[in-house]
Structure 1
Amino acid sequence: MTVCAIEITRTDPFTITADGAYAARLAGEGEARYPERWTLAGPEAYAVPLPLAQPEEADSEVLPLADGRVLIHRRVADRHVFALLYPTGTGAGPRTGELVLGAIPAQEGLRVTLLPPSPDGIRAYALTVGAEDSTVWQVAGHPAGPQRVAHVPGLCSGGVWLDRAGRLLALDRELEGRTKTVAVDLAGAVSPLLQISEDSDDRLLSAAPDSGLLVIRSDAPGETRLGWGVLGSARPVRFPECLRLEEEATPFAVQPGQVLMPETCGVALRVGEAGLALWHPADRHVFRLAAPQGWLGGTGLWTAEGRLHLPYAVPEVPCGIMSLGRPVAPPPPVRLDPPVRLDPPVRPDPPVRPDPPVRLDPPPEPAPRPVPLQQAPLG
């Protein structure tokens, strides 16, 4: 179904697994909240509610796993509790099973948030931020319950996976008044990743492990702008003029599978509260499109084939997916060379023996037209 107008955009978090097979959100309204799992791998998406005896708090977090279970994070008294929910299908109707994994003690001023789904789809991680430092916890996939896996000095936020193995995690760290992105090896090492200038605040918004495309936000150009670079490249970060939008834009999906071809990756941007835009580094053009009514959380999923899937929920379609193809960028202006003017041949006088015919040189070869940058081969 294609919806042509933007009227409602649900801002409740909607999280999709790295392989695009499942998604989860906290559905319901007001005090009647419950986890809901979406199955996306198949001919048609469908939702499975996972309610328990008591409704969930509005600040609970949910995260889908690759096996169809849903991780939930709740604040319960003086603990942050983590559990796995799954449909059991027993009794008179669908039931919800719950497996409690363990808890992290709550402390005054401690913030606990779930990190984006791990690329392997089996493990799940949470980030705790205290007064001076941050800690990455593995909260699912470990037999002994929540375990500390990395300690990072400074106040961290964000969270972007840099590899397909789920070992390298990028975090935006605020330290000594500046924010820089660091790479956290979950084996324990922390190293700088993004530092455009010494005095700039540089944040990593998204990364495509296949192509190495990085989308960042930085004030290094003199104002806060979106830019892009390539992981491991010696070339500087670029800040295209087309990404200088009136409203703040945030990438939420990047096209996978473009191995070593960052310029060809599709990037989906949420613009403002409910706007949608698509961009490819090679096009140097941003396409503004209509998002579906009831778009969930400003999220979506790019496929390797170049289709963008956007989840939405409205009363008549409680579980819908809108699919978009890649727009075609307008062609660059073509400069036409002026025609070559040939003088008419010289006519000899009648009484005089005609001179040999005047030989006209062929018109000069036109000068080679510069190839537009988006068509130039990459060096």
Structure 2
Amino acid sequence: MKLGTADAGRTAAGLATGADRLPDVRRINFRFSGRGRYLACLADHGHGRLAPEMWDLTDTGRESRELRVRDEQTPMTVPMATDDGNLLLCHIGTEGVHRVLLAVPSRGGGRPEEHELGTVLGNGLGVVAGRGGGTAAVAFATGVEQSRVLRLSGRPEPPELVTVLPDLVGGGIWLDENGTRLAVRSMAGTGTAVLDLARGALEPLTGLSGDEHLLLAAPRTGALLTAARRDGAYRLGVRLLHDDRPTVFPDRLNAIEGSVTPLALSPDGRRLALAVTRRARSHLLLHDLVGDVTEESGLPGGTLFPLAHWGDTHLHLIHTTPDRPPGPITVSRRTHRIPSVPEPSRPRWAGARVHTYDGPAGAIEAVVYGEPATAAQVVIALHGGPEAAWQLGFDPLFQSLAAEGIAVVAPNQRGSTGYGAAHRDAIQGVWGGPDLDDVLHLGRALGAARGPLLERPALYGASYGAYLALLAAAARPELWARAAVVAPFLSGRELYEDGPPTVRTMLDRLGGREEIHDDLGPRDLLMLADRLRTPLLIVHGERDPIIPVSHSRRLRDRLLRSRHHGVGPAYLEIPGAGHDPLSESDGKVVRDGLVGFLRTGTPPSA
């Protein structure tokens, strides 16, 4: 790590002592086996390294098991459980060379047997769980203008080349129970096609209109769920495979309020599980496609992941709450009950609630930890995006702050999703306008509620939230005790010049380069540097592919020139890290440094 500050010699004594008492739990890259018997993910349980973790979903106890494989995993590893309880590990390489391994768990709980299955060459590698018939998974290795299709048996044998397709394909939705016909998406824009693994042939999927996309299938009955743009909006459609009748777009299904994500079709194709995000939490809706009626299955307040498996007796989902890391929950097909899922050696994580604050133009909902009015310290945390929102889910940083007795207020200010189009679109063409007003209003309100004897609120933000936090610190420096930011950008215009094509497209779509004319002036952090008097920590990944690290370096250098006696911000650059250094291999170290700075104002040591 690189530390740049006039106080680089100071140590971060006493950092995050409460956080050190809590295991650092992170889970990513969930995958169900083909028939839903097992679930795998990558997890870090406080060791500072990712390792595979598995659940046997046929076991009512539902305890997870960490597999102690030799190599440390990376976020680019795809863990694919097989239906006989083994684990395929597909290491996606950055140089076009991908390793495939098989881990066979030991019954006694020791280290699993590990088998190197070989390497796969290609610009990219996609993996789909198989459905039996000697296929544990299907892999697509894409080249320049073709895709190699490989079969992984789930046994200690090399991948088998099935066919080479003259097209770039991805995705994968099974259309039959035997696992021979797989719907794939053409990356060249030619629509959905069907791959017959037995013949190695690709053929069109008939019946879909030109703009219709396949989302889900029920292989037993041939029921399909599609999406197509109709009357200016995307609508969900229902049809049968090999049926000449047109797709039906059910009215009530398409009138559900909120952000709707289809999760799974029941085996008979009659019912559809939907994750619906409204405000700061997810809801599970079960929709009868024949009767076009919906019922809600009561879930604890939390967040659903966009992944599920619906078997003959149970619907398996991935769910998280503020005091429970992501993991499987099971909904009974008949009762919709949710059995409790024990966490191994589960600590007493901090809970959170949703609270509504008055804002300058209406209510501002926030996820809140602790008691902001009376805690010794409070942090206002600003999310990235800007088209995003805080949810009621497990957050390791917020847990670390709560363990130190620091309250957290994570607002969904204007520009956030989940609160309707007007709230979301309020910052269109005015980045750092209405959303900044909301943050400043909240800072003043919290400061007034805390009174003169307690410390002023601190600011935290990542990505767009980092940019917004620095704007707030520049606009009203007297409101804040300190600010810590991760991966800030200098301005919409600067990011347009330096960012990747996807970011430039977003800036064009959301008007991120437009200027604001008011007393604060242009929302350019280099131009506002002389107003940034708040103690500041800047963190950035050296290889951030979204917001170039040069933005933070330039801001640091500008602040060093503008501050009295050369005392600039604390600057932490994480070698090799990407856009979210808190979730990478040094994530706990970075998180402890952030917590220590937000608690004491002491920069993390080099």
**TM-score relative to the length of structure 2:** 0.45
In the superposition, relative to structure 1, how do residues 320 and 85 fare at CA in structure 2: closer, same or farther (>3 Å)?
A: same
Paired residues for 1:267-306 under 5 Å = 267-272=272-277, 274-292=282-300, 297-305=305-313
Paired residues for 1:60-79 under 5 Å = 60-76=77-93, 79=97
Distance in 2 (CA, whole Å) between partners of 1:11 and 1:223 is 34
- 1:315-360 per-residue CA deviation (whole Å, 9 max, x = no partner) reads 66886534244689xxxxxxxxxxxxxxxxxxxxxxxxxxxxxxxx
Distance in 2 (CA, whole Å) between partners of 1:120 and 1:16 is 17
In the superposition, relative to structure 1, how do residues 296 and 63 fare at CA in structure 2: closer, same or farther (>3 Å)?
A: farther
In the superposition, relative to structure 1, how do residues 122 and 154 fare at CA in structure 2: closer, same or farther (>3 Å)?
A: closer
Q: Tell me the residue number matched to 2:138.
A: 125
Secondary structure, counterpart of 1:12 in structure 2: strand
- 1:245-292 per-residue CA deviation (whole Å, 9 max, x = no partner) reads 455533322211x3xxx4xx2211233584432212112123344544
More strand by share: 1
In the superposition, relative to structure 1, how do residues 42 and 86 fare at CA in structure 2: closer, same or farther (>3 Å)?
A: same
Secondary structure, counterpart of 2:50 in structure 1: strand
Q: Tell me the residue number matched to 2:558.
A: none
More helix by share: 2
Identify which of 164, 172, 176 aligns with 1:159.
Answer: 172
In the superposition, relative to structure 1, how do residues 204 and 58 fare at CA in structure 2: closer, same or farther (>3 Å)?
A: same
Letter in 2 for 1:310: L
Q: Does 1:95 align with 2:111?
A: yes
Letter in 2 for 1:238: V
1:62 CA displacement = 0.7
Q: Does 1:80 align with 2:98?
A: yes
Distance in 2 (CA, whole Å) between partners of 1:279 and 1:155 is 34
Letter in 1 for 2:193: V
Identify which of 222, 229, 254 aligns with 1:212.
Answer: 222
In the superposition, relative to structure 1, how do residues 117 and 25 fare at CA in structure 2: closer, same or farther (>3 Å)?
A: farther
1:42 CA displacement = 2.8
RMSD: 3.1
1:169 CA displacement = 0.6
Query: CA contact under 8 A between 1:119 and 1:161: conserved in structure 2?
Result: no
- 1:105-154 per-residue CA deviation (whole Å, 9 max, x = no partner) reads 24xxx111211333447431111233333232113357751232133333
Secondary structure, counterpart of 2:252 in structure 1: helix
Query: CA contact under 8 A between 2:82 and 2:154: conserved in structure 1?
Result: no
In the superposition, relative to structure 1, how do residues 191 and 248 fare at CA in structure 2: closer, same or farther (>3 Å)?
A: farther
Identify which of 196, 202, 207 aligns with 1:190.
Answer: 202
Distance in 2 (CA, whole Å) between partners of 1:293 and 1:299 is 18
Distance in 2 (CA, whole Å) between partners of 1:236 and 1:140 is 38
Letter in 2 for 1:85: A
Paired residues for 1:101-180 under 5 Å = 101-106=117-122, 110-120=123-133, 122-141=135-154, 145-175=158-188, 178-180=189-191
In the superposition, relative to structure 1, how do residues 173 and 254 fare at CA in structure 2: closer, same or farther (>3 Å)?
A: same
Distance in 2 (CA, whole Å) between partners of 1:317 and 1:80 is 29
Query: CA contact under 8 A between 1:196 and 1:220: conserved in structure 2?
Result: no
In the superposition, relative to structure 1, how do residues 88 and 118 fare at CA in structure 2: closer, same or farther (>3 Å)?
A: same
Letter in 1 for 2:81: P
Paired residues for 1:195-274 under 5 Å = 196-197=208-209, 200-219=210-229, 223-244=233-254, 245=256, 247-256=258-267, 258=268, 262=269, 265-272=270-277, 274=282
Secondary structure, counterpart of 1:123 in structure 2: strand
1:233 CA displacement = 1.3
Matched residue count: 303
In the superposition, relative to structure 1, how do residues 293 and 131 fare at CA in structure 2: closer, same or farther (>3 Å)?
A: farther
In the superposition, relative to structure 1, how do residues 223 and 297 fare at CA in structure 2: closer, same or farther (>3 Å)?
A: closer
- 1:18-60 per-residue CA deviation (whole Å, 9 max, x = no partner) reads 3332111112279521111110113322211112234210111
Distance in 2 (CA, whole Å) between partners of 1:296 and 1:243 is 19
Distance in 2 (CA, whole Å) between partners of 1:11 and 1:234 is 44
Letter in 2 for 1:114: V
- 1:55-96 per-residue CA deviation (whole Å, 9 max, x = no partner) reads 210111011111100111013565201111122256xx6222
Distance in 2 (CA, whole Å) between partners of 1:326 and 1:88 is 35
Letter in 1 for 2:55: W
Q: Tell me the residue number matched to 2:49.
A: 32
Distance in 1 (CA, whole Å) between partners of 2:283 and 2:177 is 30
Letter in 2 for 1:223: A
Query: CA contact under 8 A between 2:44 and 2:51: conserved in structure 1?
Result: yes
Q: Tell me the residue number matched to 2:39.
A: 23
Distance in 2 (CA, whole Å) between partners of 1:313 and 1:124 is 27
Q: Which structure has the greater CA radius of gyration?
A: 1
In the superposition, relative to structure 1, how do residues 270 and 151 fare at CA in structure 2: closer, same or farther (>3 Å)?
A: farther
Query: CA contact under 8 A between 1:295 and 1:310: conserved in structure 2?
Result: no
Q: Tell me the residue number matched to 1:309.
A: 316
Letter in 2 for 1:134: S
1:190 CA displacement = 1.2
Runs of 5+ in structure 2 lacking a partner? 1-25, 337-606
Task: Give percent identity, aligned residues only.
Answer: 30
Letter in 2 for 1:19: R
